[in-house]
Amino acid sequence: MALKPYKELVKVDVLPFCDKRKAKDDNGKPIEIPYLNWARCKRLLHENGAESVYFIPLRDENGSFVFCSKEVQNKDGRKCGCYFVAVEVHIDDLVFRMDMPLLNGSLVVYEDTLNQLRISNCHARAFVKGVAIHTGLGFSLWDNDSDVDSAPDDLSIHNIWAVKERIERMITAKEKNGLDHKDMLSMLGLSEKQFTVLMAQFQNIYALESKLKSL
């Protein structure tokens, strides 16, 4: 028994096998979109004729599972860049490589937010999307531009630099909409000096967290 052709697999309704994940549409509105778990994707391939299905996470020349281009440091000394992973997918005689970016919604991905769970999840997403592109199974999940930004994961939501970045973005947006900086501080009940001291606390909190981690 051989894997069914693309024209048949693309018609398989995978929605009953999907879970939901939080995301944002083009207007920033929270939505839920379906995603196919890698294990269910593998099972569906077997049920549709595949004998052997697996994927291998690939490493860069330094042995890392995370590939990166144009890594830079922000003004706080945190490294960020274009991070992605890659997998080699095997479906019987079909073998292909699939690259996948590491995303955190619309937020920048920093090196210190990379962890095993995020990397493992990205490997799984690369497998599922690669299967959709090369075999047709699950391709309908991307038919309606459903490959939108994921909502930021819990780790980065609570990351001190993500909080600082959100505040800075909110301030910039208010000022772009015509709110004078001094008037904004007055409405917040802060002087310029108090505001500067308050924003500087992010560095102090980060230093405290770093020291706690080293204990």
Q: Which residue has the tokens 């590939």?
A: 67
Identify whether the C-beta of residue 151 lies closer than 8 Å to the C-beta of residue 23.
yes
Q: Mind listing the pLDDT tens digit for each residue in 200-215? A: 887 788 778 777 767 7
For the whole model, what pTM was predicted?
Answer: 0.66
Which long-range contacts link 201-208 to residues 24+ away (Cβ below 8 Å)?
A: 202/160, 202/161, 202/163, 202/164, 203/76, 205/160, 206/76, 206/160, 206/161
CA dist., res. 60 & res. 52, Å (int): 26
124: enclosing H helix or E strand:
helix 116-135
Identify whether the C-beta of residue 45 lies closer than 8 Å to the C-beta of residue 91.
yes
pLDDT in tens, the chain (215 residues): 799 999 999 999 999 999 988 776 666 677 788 989 999 999 999 999 999 999 999 999 999 999 987 778 777 778 888 899 999 999 999 999 999 998 776 677 888 888 898 899 999 999 999 999 999 999 999 876 545 445 555 444 456 777 777 788 888 888 888 888 888 888 989 898 898 888 888 778 877 877 776 77
CA dist., res. 31 & res. 36, Å (int): 17
CA dist., res. 187 & res. 122, Å (int): 43
